[in-house]
Amino acid sequence: MKKYFLLLTLLCLSLSARAHDAEVDGIFYNLDADNKTATVTFQGDNYDSYDNEYSGDVVIPETVTYNGITYSVTSLGWACFTYCSSLTSITIPNSVTSVGEYCFSACRSLTAITIGNSVTSMGKCCFSYCSSLTSITIPNSVTSLEYGCFADCSSLTSITIPNSVTKVG
C-alpha cells in the first residue's frame, strides 16, 4: 500500500510542477478548459528556469487555439515575463483583465507597453526594475495598481493614471 501511495504522490507532484499547459506561437499558457480561458505563463518549472525566453516585440493574442479548442486570453500570470532582458515591447489585448504580480519585473530593455482597455488590476511589482521604461499610460479600465508597480523604474519620466484608479499600493 505504501508503494502505491508513494507512486501516486510522486505523480501528483510531477504534474503540479509544470508551469504551463501549452505553447502556441512561442507563448506559454495555462489553460482552463471549463471556462475556455488562457493565462500567459513562463516556460519551465519556475520563472527563472529558462533565460530570456521572451524577447523583442511581443504581441499577446486575444484568443489562442490549442488541440482544436479556442481559449480567450484573460490574464498575464505571476512572473510570466520576469527577467526577460531582451523584451523590448509588449502589447496586451483587450481580452486581458489582469496583469499578475512581478509580471514584467526586471525586463531591463522594455521600452514600450500597450495595455488593453479591459485590464482592471495590475499586480504587485508588475513593472518593477524596468530600467528602460520611460513612459506609460494606464487605461481607464484599471481600478487598482498594487504595491511597487513601478518600483525602481529609473528612466520613468511620465506616467498617466486615470481617475478610475481608486487604489495605489
Q: Are 47 and 70 in contact (CB under 8 A)?
A: no
pLDDT at residue 10, as a whole number: 35
pLDDT digits (tens, 9 = 90+) for 26-72: 999 999 999 999 999 987 666 666 655 788 999 999 999 999 999 99
Q: List CB contacts of 77: < 8 A, sequence separation 6 or more.
A: 30, 39, 40, 41, 42, 100, 103
Which one-letter amino acid corresponds to residue 20? H
Burial letters for 89-109: b for 16+ Cβ neighbours within 10 Å, e otherwise? ebebbebbbbbbbbbbbbbeb
Query: pLDDT over 70 for what percent of the chain?
Result: 83
pLDDT at residue 55, as a whole number: 87
On the question of pLDDT at 141 being above 80, the answer is yes
pLDDT at residue 12, as a whole number: 40
pLDDT band with cut points at 50, 70 and 90 for residue 169: confident
Gyration radius of the chain over CA positions: 17
Distance, in Å, from the CA atom of 152 to the CA atom of 127, rounded to the nearest integer, reads: 9
pLDDT at residue 75, as a whole number: 97
Q: Are 109 and 86 in contact (CB under 8 A)?
A: yes
pLDDT at residue 42, as a whole number: 84
Domains and CATH numbers, the chain: 20-168 (3.80.10.10)
pLDDT at residue 134, as a whole number: 94
pLDDT at residue 27, as a whole number: 92
Which one-letter amino acid corresponds to residue 43? Q
